[in-house]
């Protein structure tokens, strides 16, 4: 019997009943009854067949499970009956979950999550500098050698960026590479997926002809070949062997690094394993040594190694060092915006469901009156909300993965470059967002059911409108909508401020004419006849022979990318002026550099190679910072390491419009050296100013290659594009803010539509009476619009009150604008008012078109 389907049991019961009735009829006939009388008595004696059959079915089945299944079917049926509301509520929840999960995934990867290395809490980024600002992360070989002797360190890892170009068929492939000390992979806990990595214990793995590549490069460039280990890669002037492949989650020292070569601080100058310029250092501090003690020990080692006594070492946790304050501010603000939008969308979904369930309060009261137990009402409401919440969570999960994929592709490089964590969906965030959103939705759906079940005790009261509980519950959606509209207004104002800021950034003067300028990176072999720089300089002359080229120049460093960055304490030749700690963009240039870029010389003259390597041109703001004035031709200054410069002239500043003007470093221009330097090649930049319009960059590149066949030429970029890339973060922030504003406004409008429809429906009788007494449809429509107007005015007042704290938050991420911008407010109020007006159209029209007779006839 156990496990038999109730239907089969009922079918057997029917057979039994037939036999039972037959026997009863036989007995009555034997007692003398007629056939008809016997049949009647038999059935009377048996009882109510229908009720008994139901009892048999209940006894054979699982009543609780069947009741639950019935509730589920009823809930699904109700969801389908009001599909539009269910769909809108589910989609609102989906968008809320997706936005919150995506934003936290980004914030977690960039700000919160420690680096994915072994014991990240003991891994510190090292920077050095004067006691007031030990912030220079770019360290020379001598400094690194001194630091590694400090007690309390398990390891001092060093990484030097090294762009690489290798040949893939007839294509030059440019990848970001790095020299790293051999212990990096073992100490960071990186297990190769193919082959092996560097090891200080195995000399064969730390030679200059081996490399480790990333899984991404292995898959995209080498087709995930199984025989990658031991294969060779052709670099300029050398050939290297692939030692191993590391997993794609390992990104170090930047997110773009894909090839690693071993670094040896003790290698002779010019060796491939010795860093040519500066490097970054990462200290693995012993677990038993506090970071402060390790920091002090490293400072002592540095000073003992010959550094100035005022030099200090600073250790910072590896996660947050690379993110600049502007990006941190933007991420935090965006996270706050997402949290508000999450609340708005969830409250909107909740308001929709609250209104829908309240429309059924009379039905629920009726069910309670007829005997439906309270738990059945609550269970049905619970199942109904669960169906909608599940729809939202499932769609939200899919949307999250899509959004993270989009963010991964569109995140400004200046942010993704600095992240050591891969951007992947965070399951915990998804679960929390789904739980919170679903909880809000289900709670609002359960409230009317809870009030409805109270009709069990007082059905006559629940069947009347206007009870105290009803009035309190009735104001909830209205208050929610006012809150949502205020939030939407604030989001619009914030977005308007961001766009205004971006417009100011784009329109700001750059100090040079960025149009018709194209830059190429040149890799010039040092074994060229006459020397690499002679070749590079003559290349500029030959490149200018193109009919579309006005002039060209060679340099090390091409605006806006500096050739070198100096972190220095600068002392002028004025004894009354104290030294100044500065970060300086340095360019090594030929005399025609200034004309090519259109940089105006304000005083003095340009420096030439005949003036010597220390005769320079200063930017105006740098001259002011060192001497307090601009007329400084012929003056001299020096760095703390003793290097002295003589100023031959002062040029106009080159500006990179940034939100924080303090981050726009001043410039100095040194003469391009005539020596070739060590190593097989040198990096130089060729800048071309075109005539009326620039030909296609590929055409220009071919022309340049033809002028110097032995020189490798990069793809080329327009200088204007590089400047615009510099505002990619403010542009992204403005786009995100605009997206939030749109979502917020649409969400508020949707919620307003629901509330107005409910308000209009609840006043139908009143409208019917008014129409019957002579009111015009226009005046009825005005009642509805008046509700909108009152809510809008209230929202504006609430927004104004909240504008001040928002303004303080936005202050750090806006350029030449503020939260008090009247234009931003006007536009935002207009946008929200327009959305509210659109939401009012339908309810007002429906109320105005109602027939008094119909309205008054309805209960």
Nearer to another protein, 52 or 435 (CB): 52
**Minimum CB–partner distance for residue 74 and another protein (Å):** 25
Q: Is 17 in the site for another protein (CB under 8 A)?
A: yes
329 Cβ contact list (under 8 Å, min separation 6): 812, 813
Write the binding mask 59 to 88 for another protein: x where contact by CB under 8 A, - elsewhere. Answer: xx----------------------------
Q: Contact region for another protein (CB under 8 A) — 55-63, 260-268, 489-497, 771-779?
A: 55-63
Residue 391 preceded by cis peptide, ω within 30: no
**Minimum CB–partner distance for residue 454 and another protein (Å):** 30
Nearer to another protein, 45 or 191 (CB): 45
Nearer to another protein, 22 or 766 (CB): 22
**Minimum CB–partner distance for residue 40 and another protein (Å):** 14
**Minimum CB–partner distance for residue 6 and another protein (Å):** 9
Q: Is 24 in the site for another protein (CB under 8 A)?
A: yes
Q: Is 576 in the site for another protein (CB under 8 A)?
A: no
Q: Contact region for another protein (CB under 8 A) — 8-16, 302-310, 471-479, 605-613?
A: 8-16
Distance CA 748, CA 627 (A): 57
**Minimum CB–partner distance for residue 19 and another protein (Å):** 4
Q: Is 2 in the site for another protein (CB under 8 A)?
A: yes
Q: Is 38 in the site for another protein (CB under 8 A)?
A: no
**Given 7, 8, 18, 545, the residue binding another protein (CB under 8 A):** 18
Distance CA 103, CA 400 (A): 10
**Minimum CB–partner distance for residue 42 and another protein (Å):** 9
Nearer to another protein, 21 or 746 (CB): 21
Q: Is 31 in the site for another protein (CB under 8 A)?
A: no
Q: Is 28 in the site for another protein (CB under 8 A)?
A: no
**Given 5, 8, 11, 23, the residue binding another protein (CB under 8 A):** 23
**Given 7, 11, 35, 52, the residue binding another protein (CB under 8 A):** 52
Distance CA 475, CA 354 (A): 11
Q: Contact region for another protein (CB under 8 A) — 44-52, 235-243, 350-358, 484-492?
A: 44-52
Structure tokens at 90: 């589910």
Burial of 57 (0-12, 13-18, 19+ CB in 10 A): middle
Given a contact cutoff of 8 angstroms between Cβ atoms, the answer to whether 561 and 722 are in contact is yes
692 Cβ contact list (under 8 Å, min separation 6): 516, 548
Strands (DSSP E) contained in 169-310 are 171-180, 194-195, 210-214, 232-235, 238-246, 257-262, 280-285
CA 131 to chain centre: 35
- How many residues touch another protein under the rule CB under 8 A: the total is 28
Burial of 830 (0-12, 13-18, 19+ CB in 10 A): exposed
By DSSP bridging, strand 615-619 and strand 644-651 are parallel
Number of H helices and E strands in the chain, helices first, is 26, 22
By DSSP bridging, strand 564-572 and strand 580-589 are antiparallel
**Minimum CB–partner distance for residue 376 and another protein (Å):** 20
Q: Is 170 in the site for another protein (CB under 8 A)?
A: no
Nearer to another protein, 48 or 776 (CB): 48
- DSSP code string of 587-646: EEE-TTHHHHHTPPEEEE----GGG-TTEEEEEHHHHHHHHSSS--TT-EEE-TTS-EEE
**Minimum CB–partner distance for residue 26 and another protein (Å):** 6
**Minimum CB–partner distance for residue 375 and another protein (Å):** 21
Distance CA 623, CA 651 (A): 10
**Minimum CB–partner distance for residue 30 and another protein (Å):** 11
**Given 8, 26, 472, 790, the residue binding another protein (CB under 8 A):** 26
**Given 31, 34, 48, 238, the residue binding another protein (CB under 8 A):** 48
Q: What is the DSSP letter of 515?
A: T
C-alpha torsion sign, points 25, 27, 33, 35? positive
**Given 45, 464, 469, 644, the residue binding another protein (CB under 8 A):** 45
Nearer to another protein, 55 or 234 (CB): 55
**Given 5, 7, 22, 628, the residue binding another protein (CB under 8 A):** 22
Taking residue 69's Cβ as centre, other Cβ atoms within 10 Å add up to: 11
Specify the DSSP element, H or E, that contains 125: strand 123-130
**Minimum CB–partner distance for residue 24 and another protein (Å):** 6
Phi, psi (rounded to 5 degrees) for 567: -105, 110
Nearer to another protein, 13 or 326 (CB): 13
Distance CA 232, CA 242 (A): 6
Which residue in 452, 464, 485, 493 sits closest to 351, CA to CA? 485
Q: Is 173 in the site for another protein (CB under 8 A)?
A: no
**Given 8, 19, 435, 834, the residue binding another protein (CB under 8 A):** 19
**Minimum CB–partner distance for residue 424 and another protein (Å):** 52
Q: Is 238 in the site for another protein (CB under 8 A)?
A: no
> b/e per residue, 79-99, with b = 16+ CB within 10 A?
beebeebbebbbbbbbbbbbb
Structure tokens at 849: 């078109």
Q: Is 8 in the site for another protein (CB under 8 A)?
A: no
Chain residues in the site for another protein (CB under 8 A): 1-2, 9, 12-13, 15-20, 22-24, 26-27, 45-49, 51-52, 55-56, 58-60
């Amino acid at each position: 019997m156990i496990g038999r389907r109730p239907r089969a049991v009922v079918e057997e019961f029917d057979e039994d009943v037939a036999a039972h009735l037959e026997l009863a009829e036989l007995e009555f006939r034997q007692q003398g009854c007629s056939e008809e009388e016997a049949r009647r008595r038999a059935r009377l004696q048996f009882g109510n067949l229908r009720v008994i059959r139901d009892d048999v079915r209940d006894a054979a089945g699982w009543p609780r499970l069947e009741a639950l299944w019935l509730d589920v079917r009823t809930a699904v049926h109700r969801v389908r009956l009001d599909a539009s509301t269910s769909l809108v509520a589910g989609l609102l929840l989906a968008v809320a979950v997706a936005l919150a999960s995506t934003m936290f995934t980004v914030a977690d990867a960039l700000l919160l999550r420690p680096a994915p290395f072994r014991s990240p809490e003991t891994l510190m980024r090292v920077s050095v500098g004067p006691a007031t600002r030990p912030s220079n992360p770019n360290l020379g070989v001598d400094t690194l050698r001194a630091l590694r002797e400090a007690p309390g360190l398990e390891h001092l890892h060093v990484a030097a960026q090294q762009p690489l170009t290798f040949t893939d068929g007839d294509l030059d492939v440019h990848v970001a590479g790095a020299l790293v000390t051999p212990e990096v992979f073992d100490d960071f806990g990186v297990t190769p997926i193919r082959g092996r990595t560097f090891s200080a214990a195995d000399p064969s793995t730390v030679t200059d002809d081996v490399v480790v590549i990333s899984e991404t490069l292995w898959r995209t460039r080498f087709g995930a070949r199984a025989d990658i280990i031991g294969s060779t890669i052709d670099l300029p002037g050398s050939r290297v062997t692939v030692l191993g492949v590391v997993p794609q989650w390992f990104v170090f020292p930047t997110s773009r690094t894909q090839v690693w070569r071993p670094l040896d601080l003790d290698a002779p100058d010019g060796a491939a394993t010795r860093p040519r310029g500066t490097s970054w250092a990462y200290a693995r501090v012993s677990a038993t040594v506090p970071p402060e003690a390790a920091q002090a020990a490293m400072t002592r080692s540095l000073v003992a190694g010959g550094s100035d006594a005022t030099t200090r070492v600073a250790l910072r946790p590896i996660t947050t060092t690379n993110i600049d304050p502007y990006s941190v501010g933007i991420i935090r603000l965006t996270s706050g915006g997402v949290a508000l939008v999450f609340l708005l969308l969830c409250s909107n979904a909740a308001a929709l469901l609250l209104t829908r369930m309240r429309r059924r309060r009379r039905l629920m009261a009726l069910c309670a009156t007829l005997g439906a137990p309270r738990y059945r009402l609550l269970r049905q409401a619970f199942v109904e909300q669960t169906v909608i919440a599940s729809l939202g969570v499932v769609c939200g999960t899919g949307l999250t993965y899509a959004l993270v994929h989009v963010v991964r592709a569109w995140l400004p490089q200046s942010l993704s470059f600095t992240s050591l964590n891969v951007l992947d969906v965070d399951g915990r965030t998804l679960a929390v967002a789904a739980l919170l959103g679903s909880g809000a939705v289900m709670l609002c759906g359960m409230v009317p059911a809870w009030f409805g079940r109270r009709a069990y005790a007082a059905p006559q009261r629940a069947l009347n409108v206007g009870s105290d509980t009803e009035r309190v519950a009735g104001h909830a959606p209205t208050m929610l909508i006012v809150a949502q509209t205020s939030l939407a207004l604030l989001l619009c104002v914030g977005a308007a401020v961001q766009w205004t800021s971006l417009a100011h950034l784009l329109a700001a003067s750059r100090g040079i004419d960025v149009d018709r300028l194209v830059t190429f990176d040149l890799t010039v072999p040092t074994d060229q006849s006459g020397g690499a720089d002679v070749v590079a300089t003559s290349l500029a002359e030959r490149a200018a022979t193109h009919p579309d080229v006005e002039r060209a120049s060679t340099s090390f460093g091409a605006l806006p990318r500096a050739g070198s960055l100096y972190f220095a304490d600068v002392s002028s030749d004025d004894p009354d002026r104290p030294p100044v700690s500065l970060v300086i963009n340095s360019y090594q240039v030929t005399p025609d550099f200034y004309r090519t870029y259109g940089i105006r010389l304000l005083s003095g003259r340009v420096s030439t190679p005949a003036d010597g390597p220390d005769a320079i041109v200063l930017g105006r703001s740098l001259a002011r910072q060192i001497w307090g004035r601009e007329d400084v031709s012929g003056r001299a200054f020096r760095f703390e390491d003793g290097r002295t410069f003589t100023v031959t002239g002062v040029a106009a500043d080159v500006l990179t419009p940034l939100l924080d003007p303090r981050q726009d470093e001043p410039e100095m221009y040194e003469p391009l050296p005539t020596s070739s330097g060590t190593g097989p090649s040198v990096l130089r930049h060729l800048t071309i100013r075109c005539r009326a319009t620039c030909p296609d960059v590929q055409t220009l590149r071919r022309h340049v290659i033809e002028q110097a066949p032995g020189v490798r030429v990069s793809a080329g970029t327009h200088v204007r594009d590089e400047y615009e890339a510099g505002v990619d973060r403010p542009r992204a922030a403005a786009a995100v803010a605009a997206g939030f504003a749109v979502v917020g406004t649409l969400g508020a409008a949707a919620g307003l539509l629901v509330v107005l429809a409910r308000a209009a429906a609840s006043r139908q009788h009143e409208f019917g009476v008014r129409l019957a007494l002579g009111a015009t449809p226009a005046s009825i429509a005005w009642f509805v619009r008046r509700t909108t107007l009152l809510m809008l005015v209230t929202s504006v007042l609430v927004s104004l009150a909240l504008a001040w704290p928002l303004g303080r938050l936005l202050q750090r991420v806006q350029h030449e604008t503020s939260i008090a911008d009247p234009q931003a407010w006007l536009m935002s109020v207009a946008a929200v008012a327009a959305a509210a007006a659109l939401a009012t159209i339908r309810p007002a029209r429906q109320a105005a078109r109602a027939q008094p007779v119909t309205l008054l006839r309805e209960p």
